[in-house]
Amino acid sequence: LTREEMEEICTLGLEVCVLNDTRFCAIGNNIACNDFGAVVNPDIPEEIAAEIGKTLKVPVFSHEIAGYKTAGMMVVATNRGWIAHNRISEEEAQTLEKIFAVKGRNTTVNSGTAMVGLGVIANSKAAVCGESTTGFESGRVEEGLDIVG
């Protein structure tokens, strides 16, 4: 991100946080968040997690999801719901419900891919799923994200 690009983003009223720790360059793989909370890779240092929380204006929690550290690959969250790796425990589901302040569910996408962040992008109005996502999986995504009208 160049200084000019950062200044342009700031003129749009957006707050910018540049993370200089190159271990986390694909930051979207390491953070899952909505307007109520965020889950981050537990390897992200506390001071960086605090900066993420300050920038996003949400509390940040370091957690593995289904035994994986890349929270953004394991969870897709919106302000209406969340979906997560198919093998999350009941305890993990309850933790995600508290962090995101909405209900959600486990699922797969793209014909059995448990890393939902690979196959779904969503906001509180809609979701886009990978082309190999089955009808059954689409239904679970809709239900978890609460986007069924």
CA distance 87 to 131: 22
Give me the percent of the chain exceeding a pLDDT of 70: 99
In which band, very low, low, confident or very high, does the pLDDT at 20 lie, cut at 50, 70 and 90?
confident
Summarised one tens digit per residue, pLDDT across range 109-120 is 999 999 999 999
Single out the residue of 77, 91, 84 nearest to residue 32, CA to CA.
77
The answer to whether residue 132 scores a pLDDT higher than 80 is yes
More confident residue, 17 or 121: 121
